[in-house]
Amino acid sequence: MSLTARQQEVYDFIINHLEQTGLPPTRAQIVSHFRFASPNAAQCHLKALEKHGVIELLSGTARGIRPTSPTLRAPASTQLPIIGRVSAGRPILAVEHQEALMAVEPGHFSPKPHFLLKVQGDSMVQAGILDGDLLVVHKTPEARTGQIVVARIDDEITVKELSRKGRRIELLPHNPRYKPMVIQPSHEFAIEGLGVGVIRSFSDGPTPPR
């Protein structure tokens, strides 16, 4: 017996959420997305999907939804661009900044990664981000205090911890040799993305695999 149109929509939402975030949605997220009248409506659709054998429901957890297809439990790798030195005034994902592509399994990172940034310098060593590492980045213009960000200050790209105190914005290094960077009103400042992981090569040099 095939899925109804609404069951297929719920199933597709579950899979898309997994691919985007690496996690299944909560019942509350399903209710909100489909504007169901109650959580019971979402649960009825989930029970129907379980009966069809396309998902497994796990008790005791808000995200206890597991697709039964092995290919969905372990999403296929995707090719992400490796960004090297960024030239002034050009978008960070401009073609000329892309040095290579690397296969990455997006389900290993949350939120979804969009590119890899080649780290230059040792200002974040105490955060486990070393010179030559590839920082896995989720592209977004928004970030909260305490998050590791890829930021643009005028014509420079830097990786630091974001700190907001009222209108004051600072970028904090994780190395006592460096001082915090205070963003002045005269600066052109933008968040390019969030650091969501690190890929490190154990070869003699920092050059990533191609």
pLDDT tens-digit readout, 104-145: 887 788 888 999 999 999 999 999 999 999 999 999 999 999
**What does the pLDDT read at residue 79?**
86
* Cβ atoms of residues 198 and 125 within 8 Å: no
Tens digits of per-residue pLDDT, 155-199? Answer: 899 999 999 999 999 999 999 999 999 999 999 999 999 999 999
Architecture of the domain spanning 5-73: Orthogonal Bundle (1.10)
Architecture of the domain spanning 78-199: Ribbon (2.10)
Tens digits of per-residue pLDDT, 86-106? Answer: 887 788 988 889 998 888 887
Query: Could you list the active site residues?
Result: 123, 160
* Entry pTM: 0.62
Please give the structure tokens belonging to residue 1: 């017996």
**Residues in the chain, how many?**
210
Check whether 74 has a pLDDT greater than 50. Answer: no
Residue 170 CB-density burial (10 A; 0-12 exposed, 13-18 middle, 19+ buried) = middle
- Residue spans per domain, the chain: 5-73, 78-199
C-alpha–C-alpha distance, residues 7 and 192, integer Å: 37
Between 206 and 119, the higher pLDDT residue: 119
128: left (phi over 0), alpha (psi -120 to 50) or beta: left
Task: Please check whether the two domains, 5-73 and 78-199, share a CATH topology.
Answer: no
